[in-house]
């Protein structure tokens, strides 16, 4: 059966249905015709007995070999009829090895040594690299194609290859909140999960970690949150924008200081130097390094003291007159802003 000239099987869909439907209808018509001619050929009175060497045996669905513990753990054990003398599986399967895996965009990959444990599925299985080379040969190909399409492992626990991480931190996500539901956008293509932090009042507390397939959670009211993406190598993205369910992300204001400022203490500024003498024009003067004032002694040598006033650490020298016309030579003065008691002399 066929066409004289090559043409598509879908040429007569409107008249003869889809190709598979046409084949089934043709086969049904043939079998019904045989049954009408000789019912026992189609519906014999006795059941078919399998030949002695045909047996039912289990095998690993990825390799056809005898099931291994890793294959059984991965859920890839299948069963079928075999010729016990020729094709019965006997060599243990070596296609799978126990492995820890991660899921990225619905596909399973081998976890790396630095993949955060919170995003790793323990007890998974990975395809043995030697088996990949043996099956795909020098032409290579996608090892995931070695997994049976109807296997529960093909989308969950079996990893075929290592994920080619780009070595760069993931991109920051954009977060939003609707009522008590916190949602965020996707990040980079090597992200394995997300961490949600509570940043209310300047805090930074981890709320939970979720796998990359999750992009929303329910959160408490009156709080502020950020989301961080984590890739397969453990690198993290910058914080998302802060979203709030009524809480504040600002740090608390520092307490106010109610104490009045204490003014600086000013040391005494006046020093007095007193000179005693009775000489004419005796001058007791305080010559300060700052601003000293010159003292004036009496001109009559009558034993009166010459008082000098100096400010701030002024050093004054008072002359002590001896009743003669010569200038007094007393040197008692104020030192470092301290008042010196004048020296008493007897009057002549």
Q: Is 170 part of any domain? A: no
pLDDT at position 256 over 80: no
Encode pLDDT of 11-36 as tens digits. Answer: 666 666 777 788 888 899 999 999 99
Average predicted confidence (pLDDT) for the chain: 72
Q: Is 110 part of any domain? A: yes
Same domain, 58 and 159: yes
Q: Is 115 part of any domain? A: yes
> Which of 196, 227, 244 finishes a domain?
244
96-104 and 191-198 strand pairing:
unpaired
What mean pLDDT is predicted for residues 319-348?
41
Give the pair of three-digit tokens for residue 73.
């753990």
Residue 50 pLDDT: 82
Query: 3-class DSSP state for residue 152?
Result: helix
**CATH (domain of 183):** 2.60.40.10
**Contact at 8 Å (CB) between 31 and 24?**
no
Contacts 24+ apart (CB under 8 A), 86-91: 88/55, 88/57, 89/57, 89/58, 89/59, 89/60, 89/64, 89/65, 90/66, 91/65, 91/66
Q: Is 262 part of any domain? A: no
The region of weakest confidence among 50-59, 181-190, 222-231, 253-262 is: 253-262
DSSP assignment of 39-101:
HHHHS-SS-----TTEEEEEEETTTSSBPPHHHHHHT-EEEEEEETTTT---SBP-SEEEEEE
pLDDT at position 201 over 60: yes
Provide the 8-state DSSP code for 231: E
DSSP assignment of 10-29:
TTTHHHH--HHHHHHHHHHH
Q: Is 65 part of any domain? A: yes
Question: Using CA atoms, how far apart are residues 331 and 273, in angstroms rounded to an integer?
Answer: 9
Same domain, 103 and 25: no
Q: Is 252 part of any domain? A: no
Full residue range of the structural domain in which residue 28 is found: 1-44
Same domain, 77 and 145: yes
Share of the chain above pLDDT 70, in %: 62
Q: How many domains does the chain have?
A: 4
Q: Is 251 part of any domain? A: no
Same domain, 107 and 188: no
> Which of 163, 190, 212 finishes a domain?
163
* Backbone conformation region of residue 2, classed left if phi is above 0, alpha if psi is from -120 to 50, else beta: left
Same domain, 182 and 236: yes
Same domain, 155 and 201: no
230: closest CA among 108, 107, 98, 111? 111
pLDDT at position 330 over 70: no
Phi, psi (5° rounding) for residue 36? -65, -35
Encode pLDDT of 285-317 as tens digits. Answer: 444 344 444 444 434 434 444 444 444 444 444
Same domain, 68 and 101: yes
Share of the chain above pLDDT 90, in %: 31
Same domain, 62 and 94: yes
- Measured at the alpha carbon of residue 120, what is the angle toward residues 166 and 195, in degrees to the nearest 5? 75
Residue 125 pLDDT: 67
Residue 300 pLDDT: 40
Spacing of C-alpha 213 from chain mean position: 18
Same domain, 182 and 149: no
Give the pair of three-digit tokens for residue 233.
């190598």
Residue 248 pLDDT: 62
Same domain, 28 and 78: no
Encode pLDDT of 91-127 as tens digits. Answer: 999 888 767 888 888 787 888 889 999 999 876 667 7
Same domain, 61 and 155: yes
Q: Is 261 part of any domain? A: no
Burial of 144 (0-12, 13-18, 19+ CB in 10 A): middle
- Measured at the alpha carbon of residue 140, what is the angle toward residues 136 and 141, in degrees to the nearest 5? 90
Same domain, 145 and 64: yes
């Amino acid at each position: 059966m066929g066409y004289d000239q090559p043409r598509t099987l879908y040429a007569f869909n409107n008249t003869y249905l889809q190709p598979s439907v046409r084949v089934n209808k043709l086969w049904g018509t043939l079998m019904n015709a045989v049954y009408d001619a000789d019912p026992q050929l189609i519906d014999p009175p006795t059941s078919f007995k399998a030949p002695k060497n045909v047996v039912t045996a289990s095998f690993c669905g990825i390799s056809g070999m005898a099931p291994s513990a890793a294959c059984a753990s991965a859920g890839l054990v299948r069963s079928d009829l075999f010729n016990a003398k020729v094709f019965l599986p006997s060599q243990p399967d070596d296609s799978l090895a126990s492995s820890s895996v991660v899921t990225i965009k619905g596909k399973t990959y081998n976890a790396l040594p630095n993949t955060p444990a919170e995003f790793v599925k323990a007890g998974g299985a990975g395809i043995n690299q030697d088996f990949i080379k043996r099956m795909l040969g020098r032409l290579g190909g996608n090892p995931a194609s070695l997994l049976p399409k109807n296997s529960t492992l093909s989308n969950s626990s079996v990893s075929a290859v290592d994920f080619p991480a780009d070595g760069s931190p993931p991109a920051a996500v954009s977060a939003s909140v609707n009522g008590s539901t916190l949602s965020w956008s996707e990040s980079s293509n090597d992200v394995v999960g997300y961490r949600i932090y509570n940043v209310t009042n300047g805090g930074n507390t981890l709320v939970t970690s979720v796998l990359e397939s999750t992009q929303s959670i329910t959160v408490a009211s009156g709080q502020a949150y950020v989301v961080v993406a984590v890739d397969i190598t453990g690198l993290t993205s910058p914080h998302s924008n802060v979203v709030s369910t009524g809480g504040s992300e600002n740090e608390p204001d520092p307490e106010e200081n109610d104490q009045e400022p204490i003014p600086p203490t000013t040391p005494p500024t006046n020093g007095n130097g007193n000179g005693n003498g009775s000489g004419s024009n005796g001058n007791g003067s305080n010559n300060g390094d700052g601003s000293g004032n010159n003292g004036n002694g009496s001109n009559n040598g009558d034993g009166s003291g010459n008082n000098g006033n100096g400010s701030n650490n002024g050093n004054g020298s008072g002359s002590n007159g001896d009743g003669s016309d010569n200038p007094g030579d007393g040197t008692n003065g104020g030192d470092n802003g301290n008042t010196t008691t004048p020296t008493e002399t007897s009057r002549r």
